[in-house]
Amino acid sequence: MNLKQIHTFRAIMVTGSVSSAAKLLFVSQPAISRLLAHTEQQLGYPLFERIKGRLYPTAEARLLFDEVQSVYQGITRISTLATQLGEKKQGLLGIVSSPSLGHGLMPQCIQRFTAQHPEIRIRLRSLTYDALVRSILDGECEIGLLFMPVTHPNVTATRVGSIPLVCVLPDQHPLAIEPAIDVHQLQDQPLVAYRSGSPLAKVLTRLFGEDHAPEHILIEVDTQQNVCDLVAQGIGAGIVDQAVAMAAARRNDQLLVRPLKQRHTLELYLASSRYEPLSLLARAFGDIITQEASQL
């Protein structure tokens, strides 16, 4: 049976007559009768018994109708899902970010997104650069947010904004009285820095200059969140992005945030597969990231 025959058979079963089925399908009654006769001839057995001008389904027809109904229920679910996806009311969005962004900018973007799309489930992973790229290539996550462009030929990365760098201080730090900090004021201060050779360590090197490296690095860490946690304990000063700093300061009133006198930023890049088109949900989330980044 082809789809047209199935539609016709179901219409007769639901309405109980050829004339009512014709009205349901917006076709003529003779057309329904001809198609039914052709279908029964093709199957080799009758689907209905004709008694005094009325149709009564055979046992075979009733069994067939059960299967047809299950197919229609599936079609209805597909139709509903297709509509919900278009309205961004159904689905799963996989996101990956660098660890620092997972603590800073990403939570506020997710808060905005879930307020607009409460039915959508989000899977967020915080990974290092190499693992982040692999996650996108393997299809585990649809989009990624990171601080650097991606060089892999199968991944595209678009700059979507930047985040200012700020200084974080313990509340009793001698520089706490300053409204803004010059990075060279930190040169001889105890400092919580980043693991040597890491992307964030290279950022600090550019910030201070090759000839003005900090003199008292107390500890090296992997993430900006680690910096904030240690600074809040009184272990030196640190430099992190504004989103991470503000989130950490809201949780701990012993952490002070001061702007840098010279504006320095971390560039933000949104990464995705070069060969897989973004879903409507991923595009909507990317728009939120761009909007949030523009306000920093």
Sorted by where each starts, the structural domains of the chain and their CATH numbers stand as 3-86 (1.10.10.10), 88-296 (3.40.190.290)
DSSP state of 235: S
Residue 148 phi/psi, 5-degree rounding, is -145, 155
Query: Looking at residue 87, what is its pLDDT?
Result: 47
Residues forming beta bridges with residue 97, ordered by sequence position: 126, 145
Distance from C-alpha of 236 to C-alpha of 69, rounded to nearest angstrom: 70
Pairing of strands 92-97, 143-146: parallel
Per-residue pLDDT of the chain (296 residues; tens, 9 = 90+): 888 888 888 888 888 888 888 888 888 999 999 999 999 999 999 999 988 778 889 999 889 988 888 777 777 666 655 655 554 445 788 899 988 788 778 888 999 999 988 888 898 988 888 888 888 888 888 899 988 888 888 889 999 888 899 999 998 899 999 999 999 899 889 999 998 888 888 888 888 887 777 778 889 998 898 999 999 999 899 999 998 898 889 888 889 999 999 889 988 999 998 877 888 888 999 999 988 888 77
Q: Please, what's the b/e burial string for 54-77 (b: 16 or more CB within 10 A of its CB; e: otherwise)?
A: ebebeeebeebbeebeeeeeeeee
Report the pLDDT value the prediction gives residue 89, as an integer from 0 to 100. Answer: 47
Question: What was the pLDDT predicted at 76?
Answer: 63
- Cβ within 8 Å of residue 130, ≥6 positions away: none
Question: What pLDDT is stored for residue 187 in this prediction?
Answer: 87
Per-residue pLDDT at 68: 83
pLDDT at 38: 92
| Predicted local distance difference test score (pLDDT) of residue 237 | 94
* Cβ pair 146, 269 in contact under 8 A: yes
How far is it, in rounded angstroms, from Cα 287 to Cα 166? 25
Model confidence pTM above 0.85: no
